[in-house]
Structure 1
Amino acid sequence: MTNPTDSNIEVFDTTLRDGGQSEAVSFSVEDKLHLAEALDHLGVDFIEGGWPGANPRDDAFFEAARERTLRHARLLAFGSTMRSGNTPAQDPVLSGLVAAGPDGAVIFGKAWDLHVELGLGIGLEENLALVRDSVAYLKEQLGVVLFDAEHFFDGYANHPDYALRVLEAAADGGADRLVLCDTNGGGLPAQIGAAVDAVRERLPGEVLGIHCHNDGGLAVANTLAAVEHGVRHVQGTLNGLGERCGNADLTAILPNLILKLGYRGAQLGPEELERLTATSRLVDELANRSPRNNQPFVGQSAFAHKGGVHVSAVRKDARTYEHIAPEAVGNVRRILVSDQSGRSNIVHKLQELGLLDRLEGNDAAVAQVVERIKDLEHQGYQFEGADASFELVVRRVIGDLPEYFRLVGFRVLDAKRHAGEAPESEATVMLEVGGERAHTAGTGNGPVNALDHALRKALVGFYPELREMDLVDFKVRVVSAGGGTDAAVRVLIESGDPHEHWGTVGVSANVIEASYQALVDAVTYKLAKNGRSDHLLAGGVVEQASGSGLDEG
């Protein structure tokens, strides 16, 4: 196996194996196959697929993976050294690794004398033989073997010579990589660097790897320290997934190594790094996790600017408040609008939405937009997740938004008829559209869902494109706590159609009224984006439900 040069690194991803041990994360076989292809496309060198023989899902994954071809990455199976008393050919773990048919194997062995004597209950010399013989057998059978020295840094701190002898035993067996593991995740960068220096002095010809956990919050820092001291094989997971506090996060490690320290992988350089954010979000989607907004490099907030002074500077030169260009990792710059916004934020947002040309030279209109946004924020509105509502505010201020419909009234009823049954919700809506009235009712699994159904049912005869629109997400936040249950609430709604998603906001002391505001903005935005400039007329009142007793005044 070709060794990396001083300027190159090898990237080993264990999202499918170690990452799958995260609490509340469970990848299906199809998920793992999908992620393996995405990781290969990103340019990683090794993908650790799982432990064949440990569970049926990993067995099924390796069986299915044999029918797939990866462009570059090698798919490795994970296991342990053989059990005491077994021969390599008779050991079920080693036999399972060979039977899985991977491109190679990764096995872990004990490098901490405490674990050898207390955990395994065997002598120190026997452990060395298990390591050496297990590696040699797999090297003969599979050709590529990586050895994970489990608890290496704790073992080195407790018994340095023995920890180094474990590595020597793996090297004697023919291991292609000796991976130093901070398994408990408690190491410090200086300790990691000093231990790596000792290993390089004792085993100068070996390619060393680093595998850090994040229990001390230093997994990324420890990994970078190891590389600075000569390690060239880097292990981690995307988004830092992993047991307990997770593994070293490759979404932070890779940009630092490639963009700041000048390293690159055999197939992973600056161009491939532009796929990092998309790959990160795919992992979260398949893991059924909400992406962490403040995650470095790939988070939604990683290049978001809110303060007016910051935005003013970024518009002149992004380097003033950005340590890299967001595009380098496939992310985007976001300018947030709030009561902390200055003119720069608003101008940037107008430019982003393609509305600035309409206000060119009209400083009074820009000032009016700024004041309107700040006033709404003071009332509890938040536009950071509601770009569609922000655009509608601007268009209303400058008189560039048709009135597609007008509310006459609505009523929402909730009824729980039996203790063991869910409540039933029904909403009735009356609207005017181009001078005509639409009067409809809708049901749903909650009052907002019912109101959404009734609103769009009233409008779809006039605006058929609303059939392709759906309510995707719904969030409620209390924005003033002084009145207890009388407190104002903010409702954020995400809507979508086959082409895009958009966010809208409403605020009121009444959660239904706040929801209605956000729903109306969602529908209005859809019609505006579709280029609607007309007020469709129809003959007579559109009666799609029986009368509700609404005040039609």
Structure 2
Amino acid sequence: MRQSAAIEVLDTTLRDGTQGEGFVLSTEDKVAIARRLAAFGVPLIEGGWPGSNPKDAAFFQRMKGVDLGAARLVAFGATHRKGLRPEADPSVQALLEARTPVVTLFGKSWTLHVREALGVNLEEHLWMIEATVAHLVRQGRRVIYDAEHFFDGFKEDPAYAMETLRVALRGGADTLVLCDTNGGSLPEEVYEITRRVVDTFPRVRIGIHAHNDAELAVANTLAAVRAGARHVQGTIGGYGERCGNANLVSLIPTLMLKYGYAVVPRPRLAELKVLARFVDERANLTPNRRAPYVGEAAFAHKGGVHVSAVLKNPRTYEHIDPQLVGNARRILVSDLAGRSNLLAKLAERGLELEAETARSLLEEVKALEHAGYAFEGAEASFYLLAHRLRGGRLPFVVRAFRAWVQGEARGAWQAEATVQVQVGAEVYHTAAMGEGPVGALDNALRKALLAFYPELEGVELADYKVRVLSGQERGTASGVRVLVEMTDGKDRWGTVGASVNILEASLKALADGYAYVLVKEARAPHQAHKAS
């Protein structure tokens, strides 16, 4: 393991990340993410291409009053256009008007692009690179040169690809970034070519910018670092054009914990999961549960043998301590579980079971999962099951329900539901409307329960998912599993219901969602109002 050597990170989430399909940020989103990246310790934050669109220009204008501490904002742009000098090119002028201390400038390394995309001769393009870099350096900017399509260009014409780097250096660039723009290079190719560049320019900082079209962006970045690259570019979550960019959420902890490089301040690494979630929330995207290091499943253990071992020594099935990246170990409950899973899961909630009760719980979990239940994302339902097997009583029982949809004269459809709920010896019968039958059931159930438990007022449905369980041969008679997430504004918990009747499955999951709060807090019922 290397010690003390530093890797400079440039985050391009706000520029390259926003080129990805479905990844959209407002100006205020970008400002908020820039602040969070700076607080995390990212030294270079690429904010956009001010010469390409008004939105990026507005962002740089907005950032002129924002303090990023030790972090530096970076503007991105291209070499000056054919037939213009740098000082006369509006896009180059826009880079200067962004007033960032650092500029990332890209030029072509592949003769195919020079001739066909730019439509200039090879010598002219070399002059365009050098002249634009020199102009920006004369204006007091640090210039990072992104050698676009470098690996493809090197494989086709290594002499010309290397010459583009030389003229960028001659112009005053202090960092040369080798870009795998098409994302199709292999780690061994990236290593060998990067090694050639590092050997040719031994006193120059060499960087890597990898795309993920072959699922190799992180591997290629690590290969370049092994070859001597000391500047790494990527995005939070790997977002970016086409298949995305190298994922800094994977790269930063790997570089720090596996290779021993200094990347961000070590205490900040524990904020990695929060940072990843923050970016997802700002982009209105669902976090990837299986994301390495920070996903909900990254340190989740399901198999009984695994759980038994990890409880004795976490190193048996965990490659790092999850707390190092702000994550936590999770024990899952399923038909693959052993008693170790169940006991560990219940211990998280402060429950202890005797051996015989644990065996009964395990058998019931397996039987219910065979019938269509799944407790992995429904830990509240599992908690209630254990509570019942320990002799605990549920705070209410749904005795009957009915839901229907009817049309109105103007053509709109309206759902209505009735629910009978028993609390102790009292049965409460109520009805409610909703936009759909499940919504009407939820409204009717809430209405009934609030008569006994007014503290449930702040509890509401946060997410609802349905999965068909049986094969197509059963058609509309197929079983369904309903997974529900509920929230009280602070915490979230999941419940499950399964049935061949989607309304019954939904009501089971909803009822568990409300019952969990009452059992967990040992709430006693109030006097009910008169039945309606």
Shorter-chain TM band: over 0.9
One-letter identity of the residue aligned with 1:542: A
| Rounded Cα–Cα distance in structure 2 between residues aligned with 1:142 and 1:150 | 24
Does 1:428 pair with 2:418?
yes
Alignment of 1:536-551 (within 5 A): 536-538=526-528, 541-543=530-532
Of the candidates 221, 234, 237, which is equivalent to residue 236 of structure 1? 234
| Rounded Cα–Cα distance in structure 2 between residues aligned with 1:248 and 1:36 | 18
Name 1:22's counterpart in structure 2: 20
CA spacing shift, 1:264–1:6, aligned 2, 3 Å: closer
Name 1:549's counterpart in structure 2: none
One-letter identity of the residue aligned with 2:425: G
Are 1:270 and 1:328, in contact at CA under 8 Å, matched by a contact in 2?
no
Are 1:196 and 1:231, in contact at CA under 8 Å, matched by a contact in 2?
yes
Shift of 1:406: 2.9
| Rounded Cα–Cα distance in structure 2 between residues aligned with 1:347 and 1:526 | 21
Alignment of 1:4-23 (within 5 A): 7-23=5-21
CA deviation digits over 1:233-273, x for unaligned, max 9?
Answer: 000011110111110111111111100100012xx143211
CA spacing shift, 1:142–1:460, aligned 2, 3 Å: farther
CA deviation digits over 1:209-236, x for unaligned, max 9?
Answer: 1000011111111100100111000000
Name 1:548's counterpart in structure 2: none
| Rounded Cα–Cα distance in structure 2 between residues aligned with 1:538 and 1:380 | 35
| Rounded Cα–Cα distance in structure 2 between residues aligned with 1:455 and 1:536 | 16
Corresponding residue pairs, total? 529
| Rounded Cα–Cα distance in structure 1 between residues aligned with 2:190 and 2:4 | 19
Does 1:321 pair with 2:347?
no
Name 2:431's counterpart in structure 1: 441
| Rounded Cα–Cα distance in structure 2 between residues aligned with 1:229 and 1:352 | 45
Of the candidates 281, 285, 294, which is equivalent to residue 281 of structure 2? 285
Of the candidates 396, 412, 422, which is equivalent to residue 405 of structure 1? 396
One-letter identity of the residue aligned with 1:509: V
Of the candidates 259, 262, 284, which is equivalent to residue 261 of structure 1? 259
Counting aligned pairs with the same residue, the percent is 51
Which stretch shifts more, 228-237 or 277-286? 277-286
Name 1:353's counterpart in structure 2: 349
One-letter identity of the residue aligned with 1:329: V
| Rounded Cα–Cα distance in structure 1 between residues aligned with 2:237 and 2:411 | 41
| Rounded Cα–Cα distance in structure 2 between residues aligned with 1:507 and 1:129 | 68
Name 1:294's counterpart in structure 2: 290
| Rounded Cα–Cα distance in structure 2 between residues aligned with 1:6 and 1:411 | 67
Are 2:461 and 2:487, in contact at CA under 8 Å, matched by a contact in 1?
yes
Does 1:370 pair with 2:362?
yes
Q: CA RMSD in A?
A: 1.5
CA deviation digits over 1:5-61, x for unaligned, max 9?
Answer: 971110110011001011111111111111111111111110100011322211111
Paired residue secondary structure (2:215):
coil
Which stretch shifts more, 293-302 or 426-435? 426-435
Paired residue secondary structure (2:139):
helix
Does 1:390 pair with 2:382?
yes
Q: Structure 2 unaligned runs (5+)?
A: none
CA deviation digits over 1:263-288, x for unaligned, max 9?
Answer: 012xx143211111111111122222
Of the candidates 472, 482, 486, which is equivalent to residue 491 of structure 1? 482
| Rounded Cα–Cα distance in structure 2 between residues aligned with 1:345 and 1:329 | 24
| Rounded Cα–Cα distance in structure 2 between residues aligned with 1:332 and 1:279 | 15
| Rounded Cα–Cα distance in structure 2 between residues aligned with 1:142 and 1:337 | 59
Shift of 1:422: 4.7
| Rounded Cα–Cα distance in structure 1 between residues aligned with 2:211 and 2:192 | 18
Name 1:511's counterpart in structure 2: 502
One-letter identity of the residue aligned with 2:442: D
| Rounded Cα–Cα distance in structure 2 between residues aligned with 1:160 and 1:365 | 70
Shift of 1:145: 1.1
Query: Could you state the TM-score of these two structures normalised by the residue count of structure 2?
Result: 0.97
One-letter identity of the residue aligned with 1:247: N
Name 2:373's counterpart in structure 1: 381
CA deviation digits over 1:441-465, x for unaligned, max 9?
Answer: 1111111111101111112122111
Shift of 1:421: 4.6
Shift of 1:111: 0.8
Are 1:9 and 1:234, in contact at CA under 8 Å, matched by a contact in 2?
yes
Name 2:149's counterpart in structure 1: 151
